[in-house]
Each structure stands twice: as structure tokens, then as C-alpha cells.
Amino acid sequence: MLCFCSKIIGAKIYKAGGFFSDDDPKSVRDIDGHGTHVASTAAGNPVGTASMLGLGQGTARGGATKARIAVYKVCWFDGCSDADILAAFDDAIADGVDIITVSLGGFNDENFFRDVIAIGAFHAMKNGVLTVISAGNDGPRSSSLSNFSPWSITVAASTIDRKFVTKVELGNKITYEVNYLLYPI
């Protein structure tokens, strides 16, 4: 288990209208692992015993291991409100963060005047704050990016060029050597 004990320096929830469903805990805590995954990618401490089922052993670390994290939770079981997203951008800027990472995707009609993430990122850029945004989850295919404003950095997942080899023994005691690629989540 990863510990962000000294990493998280602030946290706030946003909920337009204030109505929480029974499934939504009124907390900044990560309930599905996505926030923890994004935080560890951005600022996770080095973990020297990382592996995938014992394969590819090595050290895993975030991009900026000395960074601190302020959490601005805007998404709930019923979605992510535009008002909450913009309020979180405003608060992050006012709090003096250096970088805002937004791991939200969705439909983008290429009109930056209607794209709440592009609007928030533009406001951040005008205030000297870099915004790093997820590309979305619809690729890889043409025109599958959901976030691509020119004043932000868009980041997409990729694969690695390593092949893992292991042996699999079936119930009939026949053993096969299997090659597979590891794809990041």
C-alpha cells in the first residue's frame, strides 16, 4: 500500500447543489483508485520492489517525487459538474499551486468556449499555472482525444516495448511458455 502521508497538503470537495447520493461519501477519499493512480504517477515516492506478478521488477516512481499534492475532488457517482470543475480550478490557482493535473475526459466538440476544462486551463495559464490534462479513454484511433487545448499539456497512456515470458501449467499437467506484453492501466 502506498502512503501519501507527507504528500497531501490540502483537500477539498465540490458538489454543486450540495446533494450527495447514498453511494457518495462526503469525503475527498479515493473510492475507486483513480485518484490514487493519478497522484502516484505525478508525485509518487520511489518504490524499489515494484513488479507485475513478479515480472519486470524494478523501481517505480512518480514524475516529481518531491512534489506535494492538493486534492480538489469534483467527480461523484452522478458525474462531474462544470461549476465544480471551474470552482476547483479557481481555488487551485488562488491556493498558489504550480501545476494542475486534470484526469477527466469526455466529449469535446472542438469549441474551447464550451469546453469547461479548456476554459479552466486557460484561466490557469493566464495566472501562470500549467495544466496537464488526460487525453481521454477513447483511443487509439483518429480524432479520439477529448482534451487538446493549445495552452495545456495533454498526456496519453502508452505501452512498453518489453515482452514478459512465463510458464503456464494447465490442469492436465501440460506446460506452455507464454509471452505477453504489459499494458498500463
Query: What was the pLDDT predicted at 13?
Result: 94
DSSP characters over 43-67: HPPPEEEEEETTEEEEEE--S-TT-
Q: What average pLDDT does the chain have?
A: 84
Confidence of residue 74 (pLDDT cuts 50, 70, 90): very high
| Of 150 and 4, the one with more pLDDT | 150
Is the predicted pLDDT of residue 77 greater than 90, yes or no?
no
Contacts 24+ apart (CB under 8 A), 42-49: 42/67, 42/69, 42/101, 43/7, 43/67, 43/68, 43/69, 44/2, 45/2, 45/7, 47/2
